Chains A and B, each alone.
Chain A
């Protein structure tokens, strides 16, 4: 199943609602970059509220897609990381440094607009 990517003005919204398998994660990477290209979006919010764990593979895919989006000129904000996810990611040794984050979707959109100077 593919992760839906919604367009809202000049931003893209993604809410990951179910446990990611490797294939879905890689497909999402490709889909998001194509969507950025096709819509000329300059910002993306990826909401992870429903995700209850992130392993090193998913973290790598997320980190990579943020960097790839950046290369294309779009900023990405990650929102809704659960306490359990923050704890396990840090214990795993993954910091997701230099990644823009916000508590929830609303704050994520605010942050994105600030970053884009709108």
Chain B
């Protein structure tokens, strides 16, 4: 699909590539510097989660045009161990890796729309959207 580009996340350098891709698409769509920073940060959190917890997966960036609105959709897909307690990972300060625990609840706040699906043993699928204002 022409509207979607993906980056495979296998090592730390791929986190940088995913951020760069996201920032470029955000710029192209006309997002301002603050929203560009929100999108770049959200991608960085999701890509790092893949790297830390799933081992590998991918980040896809999609341009959205719906009902006259323009947006950017962020997809984070992995087939890692999945998340047992979704409610727990959405709590501020929860971390199993010694991080700040700001990741997922932070991403939810940075984006306009946030959905997470995960099954233990099958992986995690996160979709988040930022709309252009």
Where the two chains meet, the residues of A that have a C-beta atom closer than 8 Å to any C-beta of B are: 19, 21-23, 52-57, 59-60, 82-85, 87-88, 91-94
A88 touches B102 (CB 8 A): no
Once A21-B16, A91-B110, A93-B106 are accepted as A-B contacts, the answer to whether A83 and B34 lie under 8 Å apart by CB is: yes
Query: Can you list 11 A-B pairs, Cβ within 8 angstroms, ordered by A?
Result: A21-B13, A52-B40, A53-B41, A56-B45, A56-B100, A60-B99, A82-B37, A84-B38, A91-B38, A93-B93, A94-B100
Report the interface size for chain B: residues with CB under 8 A from the other chain: 25
Residues facing A in B59-79 (CB within 8 A) are: none
**With A84-B33, A84-B37 given, can you name 15 additional A-B contacts, CB distance below 8 Å?**
A52-B36, A52-B40, A53-B19, A53-B40, A56-B103, A57-B48, A84-B36, A85-B37, A88-B34, A88-B41, A88-B110, A92-B110, A93-B92, A93-B109, A94-B106
- Name the distance in Å between B21's Cβ and chain A's nearest Cβ: 13
Bound-state Cα–Cα, A52 to B15, Å: 16
Complex: chain B residue closest to A22, CB-CB: B12
Q: Is the CB of A19 within 8 A of B19?
A: yes
B contact residues vs A (CB 8 Å cutoff): 12-13, 15-16, 19, 33-34, 36-38, 40-41, 44-45, 48, 92-93, 99-100, 102-103, 105-106, 109-110
- Kindly list chain B residues whose C-beta atoms are within 8 Å of the C-beta of A52: 33, 36-37, 40
Q: Note all chain A residues with C-beta closer than 8 A to B100.
A: 56, 59-60, 93-94
**Shortest distance in angstroms between B87's beta carbon and chain A's nearest beta carbon?**
17
Residues of A within 8 A of B109 (CB): 91-93
Task: Give B107's nearest chain A residue, CB to CB.
Answer: A92
Q: Is the CB of B38 within 8 A of A88?
A: yes
| Residue contact A55 to B38, C-beta cutoff 8 Å | no
Q: Which residue of A lies closest to B93 (CB)?
A: A93
Which residues of chain A are within 8 angstroms of B41 by Cβ–Cβ distance? 53-55, 88, 92
Q: How far is the CA of A93 from the CA of B41 in the complex (A)?
A: 12
Could you say which residues of chain A place their CB within 8 Å of the CB of B44?
A: 53, 55, 57
A54–chain B nearest beta-carbon distance, Å: 7
**Nearest Cβ on chain A to B129's Cβ, whole angstroms:** 16
